[in-house]
Amino acid sequence: MSRWHVLGAGAMGCLFAHALTRAGSEVTLVRKHAPRARATVTVEGADGTESVTCATVTAKSCGSVAHLLVTTKAYDVANAVASVADHLQGNASVLLMINGMGLAEALARSYPALDIYCGTTTEGAYRKGDLHIRHAGRGSTTVGQEGRPEPPAWFGDFAGAVEACHWEPDIDSALWHKLAVNCVINPLTAVHRCRNGALAEGELREQVTQLCREVAQVSYAAGYTRTAQNIEADALRVIAATAANRSSMLQDALAGRPTEIDFITGHLLERAGEHGIAAPLNNALLREVRRLRT
Catalytic site positions: 178
List the interface residues with ligand PAF, window 185-204 (CB under 6 A): 185-186, 196
The distance of closest approach from Cβ of residue 194 to ligand PAF in the complex, given in angstroms and rounded to an integer, is 12
Quick check: 247 binds ligand PAF (CB under 6 A)?
Answer: yes
C-alpha closest to that of 219 among 101, 112, 126, 82: 101
Chain mean position to CA 234: 18
The binder of ligand PAF chosen from 71, 145, 248, 265 (CB under 6 A): 248
d(CA 72, CA 62): 17
List the interface residues with ligand PAF, window 87-146 (CB under 6 A): none
C-alpha closest to that of 95 among 13, 170, 181, 177: 13
Cα radius of gyration (the chain): 19
Among the listed ranges 50-58, 129-137, 197-205, 237-245, the one in contact with ligand PAF (CB under 6 A) is 237-245
Cα separations in angstroms, 231 against 36, 58, 122: 46, 41, 17
Residues 6+ apart with CB under 8 A from 121: 12, 97, 139, 140, 141, 142
Minimum CB distance to ligand PAF smaller for 34 or for 208 = 208
The binder of ligand PAF chosen from 120, 142, 219, 245 (CB under 6 A): 245
Minimum CB distance to ligand PAF smaller for 111 or for 126 = 126
The distance of closest approach from Cβ of residue 249 to ligand PAF in the complex, given in angstroms and rounded to an integer, is 6
Minimum CB distance to ligand PAF smaller for 5 or for 246 = 246
| 247, 132, 13, 125 alpha-carbon torsion, rounded to 10° | -30
Minimum CB distance to ligand PAF smaller for 124 or for 160 = 124
The distance of closest approach from Cβ of residue 268 to ligand PAF in the complex, given in angstroms and rounded to an integer, is 14
Quick check: 211 binds ligand PAF (CB under 6 A)?
Answer: no
Q: Could you give the count of Cα atoms lying within 13 Å of 237 in the half-sphere of its Cβ? A: 7
Positions in the binding site for ligand PAF (CB under 6 A): 181-182, 185-186, 196, 238, 242, 245, 247-248
